[in-house]
Amino acid sequence: MMNFFPTPYPDELLYSTLARYCMRSGNIREIHNFEDLFGTRNCIAAMELPTQLDALIRNMPVNTKYTAEYFIFKHTLFPFLAAFIPQERAKKIIQTMRNGEGAVSYIRIGLISNSITLNKYFRFCLECFKEDIETFGEPYWHRSHQITGVFVCPKHKIPLYKSTELIRAGNRQRFISASKENCKVEKEINYPDDLMKKMLWMAEDAEILLNNQFGFKEPEWFQSQFRVKLVEKGYARMNNYIHQKKLKQDFVDFYGHEYLQLVQSPVSNNSGGWLSDMIRKNNRTTYTVRYLLLARFLDIPVADLFNIKLGFNDEDENNIDTYQELWDQRLIELAQSGLSIREIADVLKSSTKTIRKSIDRLGIEPFWKFNGGGKYLHKKYTDTEEFKIKREEFRRKWLQLHVQYANISSNQIRRKNDGLYTWLKRYDSKWLEQNYRRIKTATNTVDWAKRDAELLPRVKEVVKEMKEGKPERITWTTIGSKLGISGWLSKKREKLPMTKSYIESELESMEEYHIRKIKWGIEELEKQGKEMTLWNLAETAGVKTRYMKVIYKEIEQVLKNKGYDCNFKW
């Protein structure tokens, strides 16, 4: 039992609070701290989802005010990681955190099945670090800085840095505090403005989830919320059809491939994938960051996503959805414009069957119901006075739009006035062509020889940094990403002979890359004074043991050259 317990600081991880206890406990052996805290040695130091919290409360000083639920919701990553899981599963995870084994929580919350690689190192904000020392006399690990997928501090809006302390490696039965020794900045981080903007969105939305208990919802709730916005923005039809290709393209255009790769949520043009799964009717949950990505893309504030049933009037949830009313009104307008059912279906992105059913439901009597039997029996629609009046009206609207939006092309105007354009295209195509504005964009001729000469030293500098710091595989893609030109670098390699020759001389096979990571991992273990075991080396270097088996001879030679005689069991 403990005779004192440190007061948790604002936004502090429980892990960090326990580390501060260990510093003050006076215990010589670290394992004795676990006996003080949990009454057992059979426990590990988990950062995201700690366990044995009931035992921790039982070992607190007499009359403690703390509860397991307080720590879970205020000082762990549970509120973020469990934000989108069903209530029953959330209850089981809470119970596991109170009395169970840590691995079970990670499995139940979906971190294993979602193939998300969690942060390897504790992270810190330079300004928070300074402020904490000034305010509290010591630094500590902030929970808002440890979320996988968050790269900036939501408070100071500056990049987060990796500490030298591994979250999952070496001795798992000790808690390590933030300190000046393990929170050093070797190289300043600067993100491009566009990338920084998206990182701030995620940091702010993640902080909202951490600091609010919105209540747990079933998967159907979020599917419904997203579906309302998908229909409203033209990505889905009323008959449950989803325009997957358009959705994916716009989603990638909104965030960019580079940012989506950083948050481990890439989107490809292939069928399936996490984005498709999220908007389909299924009970699968995915990593929280992905829900936040989709919500931000669809303009849904985090609080509204949980608290407001989208698509319904506030007074009566049995009223028809708002977007249904808008869709019906649009159908009525198009039916009165002289378009055919197929043309209306194209405008509303629906099937002709859905349009016919809705016409009957709304009691609409468009002109085509009388064709061949009354209204236009003896003459064409284009010969009627009604047509001539409508043509003049639509011509006037088209010209007004071009005056109103003088700096954009007709292609851009038609996207928001598809009904008007479709009618003119069908009935007045010659006039439309004469009054169609096309804005030519100037094509700049690239001096590839000059670009090649300017690019080469920049590439060399990037490769040098990649070799000196924590290992990253040297590929066209990684070099392009670091230079912010991944979109065209590899595609234009034939026009960059000097750059191409240098990069290809530096490219690594997977085996070469793994050997370089192993060498770096050995140096890190030596710096940290940790034992040279197979597990420590694999965890520190970030190379899975199945890959190490392929290059075990090279690893043994590297260790031998370093003076180690390690007989690892491969």
The DSSP 8-state label assigned to residue 145 in this structure reads G
Q: At 437, which amino acid appears?
A: R
How confident is the model over 512-521, as pLDDT tens digits? 888 888 888 8
User: Distances in Å between the alpha carbon of 390 and those of 23, 243, 339, 381, 386?
Assistant: 82, 32, 12, 11, 6
- Helix (H) or strand (E) run with residue 279 in it: helix 274-279
pTM for the whole structure: 0.59
Residues in the chain: 570
pLDDT in 10s for each residue of the chain, 570 residues: 788 999 999 999 999 999 999 999 888 888 899 999 999 888 889 999 999 999 999 999 988 999 999 999 999 999 999 999 999 999 999 999 999 776 777 788 877 666 789 999 999 999 999 999 999 999 999 999 999 999 999 999 999 999 999 998 666 788 999 999 999 998 999 999 999 999 999 999 999 999 999 899 998 899 889 988 998 888 887 656 788 889 999 999 999 999 999 999 999 877 778 998 888 766 778 899 999 999 999 999 999 999 988 874 444 443 335 566 667 777 887 877 777 888 888 887 778 888 888 888 777 775 554 444 444 444 566 778 888 888 999 999 999 999 988 888 888 888 778 788 888 988 899 999 999 988 876 556 788 899 999 999 999 998 888 888 788 888 888 888 888 887 788 888 899 999 999 999 988 888 888 888 888 888 888 888 888 888 788 888 888 877 888 888 888 888 888 887 767 766
Identify the pLDDT of residue 476: 87
The DSSP 8-state label assigned to residue 180 in this structure reads T
How confident is the model over 250-274, as pLDDT tens digits? 999 999 999 999 999 999 877 778 9
Q: At 103, which amino acid appears?
A: A
Asked if 366 contacts 335 with a C-beta cutoff of 8 angstroms, the reply is yes
User: Distances in Å between the alpha carbon of 515 and those of 231, 388, 466, 547?
Assistant: 51, 78, 15, 10
The string over 294-321, giving b where at least 16 C-beta atoms fall within 10 Å of a residue's C-beta and e elsewhere, is bbbbbebebeebbeeebbbeeeeeeeeb
